[in-house]
C-alpha cells in the first residue's frame, strides 16, 4: 500500500534547484562575456556588438559601426561553448577557441577576440593553406596584431563520429586506423 504523495519542498526538488542554479550561473557568465566584449569593442572604436539569441546558443555579433563600411561577406561573432570555453567565429569557417577562461582572464581574452575580429572586418586578414599530415589542405586565416602573426584555424573536424563512439571513448581516427590495419 502506498500512502499519499508527499508535496515537493517549497523551492522544488533538489534536481529542480540544481537546474535553476546552473541556468542562473550560465546566464550570469554570459552577461559577463557580453559586458567584456562590448567594452572591448567600444575601446577598439569603429565596432559595435549586438546580441543575437536567434539560434540554439546566444551569440554576440561584432559589426563595423558604420553600416556603409560593413562588407556583407565578412562577419564575426563570439559565443560560449560551455564551462569556460569561448569561441570567436569569423566568416569563412574559421574559429578561435579559448579554453578554461575564468573571470580574471575574461577581459584579456575579450580584447584579443575583438582585435582579431576588427582586423578581419576591416579586411586586414589573409587566407592561406598548409598541408595536413595526410596531404589534404588545411585553411587558416592570418591576422597581424601588434607585429605578431596570429593564425585562426578552420573549425576542427569532430573527434567522434557518433554518440556511440563518444560514449565508448573511441575517437573516429583510432577506429579508422584499427579498421584500416585489419584490411
Render each residue's pLDDT in the chain as its tens digit; 183 residues: 565 666 666 778 888 889 999 889 888 988 999 999 999 999 988 888 888 888 778 899 988 877 665 556 678 898 887 777 888 888 888 888 887 888 888 999 999 999 999 888 888 888 899 888 888 888 888 888 888 888 888 866 655 566 666 656 666 666 666 776 655
> CA 114 to CA 119: how far, in whole Å?
9
Residue tagged 579586411 (cell numbers)? 123
Domain boundary assignment for the chain: 14-156
33 touches 39 (CB < 8 A): no
C-alpha cell at 88: 570567436
**Is the entire prediction scored with pTM above 0.75?**
no
Amino acid at each position: 500500500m502506498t500512502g499519499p504523495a508527499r508535496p515537493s519542498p517549497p523551492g522544488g526538488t533538489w534536481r529542480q534547484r540544481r537546474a535553476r542554479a546552473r541556468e542562473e550561473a550560465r546566464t550570469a557568465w554570459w552577461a559577463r562575456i557580453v559586458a567584456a566584449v562590448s567594452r572591448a569593442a567600444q575601446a577598439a572604436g569603429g565596432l559595435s556588438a549586438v546580441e543575437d539569441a536567434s539560434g540554439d546558443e546566444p551569440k554576440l555579433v561584432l559589426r563595423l559601426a558604420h553600416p556603409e563600411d560593413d562588407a556583407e561577406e565578412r562577419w564575426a561573432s563570439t559565443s560560449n561553448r560551455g564551462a569556460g570555453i569561448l569561441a570567436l567565429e569569423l566568416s569563412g569557417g574559421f574559429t578561435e577557441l579559448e579554453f578554461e577562461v575564468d573571470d580574471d582572464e575574461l577581459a584579456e581574452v575579450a580584447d584579443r577576440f575583438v582585435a582579431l575580429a576588427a582586423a578581419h572586418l576591416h579586411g586586414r586578414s589573409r587566407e592561406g593553406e598548409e598541408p595536413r599530415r595526410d596531404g589534404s589542405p588545411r585553411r587558416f586565416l592570418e591576422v597581424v596584431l601588434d607585429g605578431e602573426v596570429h593564425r585562426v584555424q578552420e573549425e576542427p573536424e569532430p573527434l567522434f563520429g557518433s554518440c556511440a563512439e563518444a560514449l565508448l571513448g573511441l575517437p573516429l581516427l583510432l577506429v579508422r586506423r584499427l579498421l584500416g590495419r585489419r584490411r
